[in-house]
Amino acid sequence: MSEAAKWTPPPIGTPCWVEIPAADVPACKKFYAALFPSWEWKAPTETYAEEKIAMFSFAGEMGLTGGIVQVPTECKIGDLKNGMGVTIYHFVESIEKTKIQVEKLGGVVMSEKEPESENGYYMYFKDVAGNRFGIYELKQK
């Protein structure tokens, strides 16, 4: 059984993923592994190659995971379409319904709905203060 198949979704709105952008994923992983030795690093897979993403989870039972994700090589620091910096993804039941709610509340849509491997979908927004955040939904089976 895959790790994704064993995952129990958290309550709606719970942070479910922390994304740290990096041009050099292995170097950034080395930095965070030394700084925070309690982070548990997942082994690379064919789908998630080590030079593209280094996935981790935090110690304890909170269920929050994350990854150091490679930015496109042509990007300079601070040059990403959605801004540079850590992105927190919130688990939602429906990206479409949440998108409507974000816009109603004054937030801004920053991307289209994108697939995340075979597991789910994500989408980027900015809140009313200009902070980037993501939402994530599981694929319906």
pTM: 0.69
What is the number of domains present in the chain?
1
Query: Residues 8-37: pLDDT tens digits?
Result: 778 888 888 888 888 888 988 998 888 888
Report the CATH number that the domain containing residue 73 is assigned in CATH. 3.10.180.10
**Given this model, what pLDDT does residue 117 score?**
87
Nearest Cα to Cα of residue 92 among 7, 14, 3, 5 = 14
CA angle, residues 133, 117, 6, in degrees to nearest 5: 90
Token pair of 58 as six digits? 């935090």
Domain with 68 in it = 3-138
pLDDT grade for 85, boundaries at 50, 70 and 90 = confident
Mean pLDDT over the full length of the chain: 84
The Cα 28–Cα 34 span in angstroms is 10
What is the 8-class DSSP label of residue 130? S
Is the pLDDT reported for residue 5 higher than 60?
yes
